[in-house]
Amino acid sequence: NAGVMQNPRHLVRRRGQEARLRCSPMKGHSHVYWYRQLPEEGLKFMVYLQKENIIDESGMPKERFSAEFPKEGPSILRIQQVVRGDSAAYFCASSLVPDSHYGYTFGSGTRLTVV
Amino acid sequence: AQTVTQSQPEMSVQEAETVTLSCTYDTSESDYYLFWYKQPPSRQMILVIRQEAYKQQNATENRFSVNFQKAAKSFSLKISDSQLGDAAMYFCAQSGAGSYQLTFGKGTKLSVIP
């Protein structure tokens, strides 16, 4: 039973390029959460998605960031026109139900470096 | 709003000794959950231990235990018989009952000295 899979593990983008981060949830999980970890910081909630729906994007920057979780395939976090401040580790977690009381299983994260 | 504070950016412990990592939190909710996550250099977030706020008994998982002081809003992690593999960043986190969001502290970097 594979855990939450994220790829790529490392991603380097030049300023102005687009970054696409992928997250495959655990088998049977239909709830996906994205968190961002800036240097020297804890993880911060970005967005919560169910299949084909964005439920809560209150933690997403208003511009350049978008997320989707299609009916088929992984969840995608897209960052357009990346800037140096987007450099961070991006983590994905998934669950059977939208309740964090057991804690979540996180993927290993994608480290985005903007040069 | 929920906040989680870890006041110790770095800690060190001798191998086989005991260390305690501090965490305080603030929430207006009466029912909530508390967690400690370990993040080794591999970056994987590993759930170490969880505590349900309505339970007075402190959670224990092998060498890891917590000291949960609800009135003081304090949730410290004790690691006994420290091992080299315990070296990592440790994050305290909190979640409201029925919530899907976790609020994390900034972490404590634990070094284990052989």
Q: How far apart are CA B31 and CA A73, in angstroms?
A: 36
Asked if A40 and B106 touch (Cβ cutoff 8 Å), the reply is: yes
How large is the average pLDDT for residues B3-29? 96
**Chain A contact probe: residue of B44, B92, B102 with most A CBs at under 10 A:** B102
For B96-110, give the DSSP string. Answer: ETT----EE---EEE
Going from the C-alpha of A86 to that of each of A38, A60, A63, the distances in angstroms are 8, 12, 12
Which residues of B are less than 8 Å from A92 in CB distance? none
Task: Assess whether pLDDT exceeds 70 at residue A29.
Answer: yes
- Per-residue pLDDT, B58: 95
**Best CA proximity match to A104, nearest among A18, A8, A4, A24:** A4
> What is the average pLDDT score of chain A?
94
Contacts of B105 in chain A (CB under 8 A): 42
pLDDT at res. A61 = 94
pLDDT per residue as tens digits for the range B40-95: 998 889 999 999 999 889 999 999 999 999 999 999 999 999 999 999 999 999 99
Residue B26 identity (one-letter amino acid): D
Residues of A with CB under 8 A from a CB of B: 31, 33, 35, 40-45, 48, 56, 89, 91, 95, 98-106, 108-109, 111
Question: Residue A64 pLDDT more than 60?
Answer: yes
- Can you give the pLDDT at residue A70? 94
Provide the pLDDT confidence category of residue A7 given band limits of 50, 70 and 90.
very high
CA A22 to chain centre: 7
pLDDT > 60? residue A1: no
B2 confidence band (pLDDT: 50, 70, 90): confident
- Residue B74 has which token pair? 């304090």
Least confident of A28-32, A65-69, B22-26, B61-65: A28-32
Residue range A27-53: mean pLDDT, rounded: 93
Position A88 scores a pLDDT of: 97
Q: What confidence tier does B1 reach under pLDDT thresholds 50, 70, 90?
A: confident
pLDDT of residue A101: 80
User: With pLDDT > 70 as the criterion, what percentage of chain A qualifies?
Assistant: 99
Residue with tokens 């986190």: B93
CA distance B114 to chain A (A): 25
Nearest to B19 by CA among B62, B79, B75: B79
- Mean pLDDT of the A31-39 span: 95
pLDDT digits (tens, 9 = 90+) for A66-113: 999 999 999 999 999 999 999 999 999 998 888 778 888 899 999 999
- With beta carbons less than 8 A apart as the criterion, state whether B101 and B79 touch: no
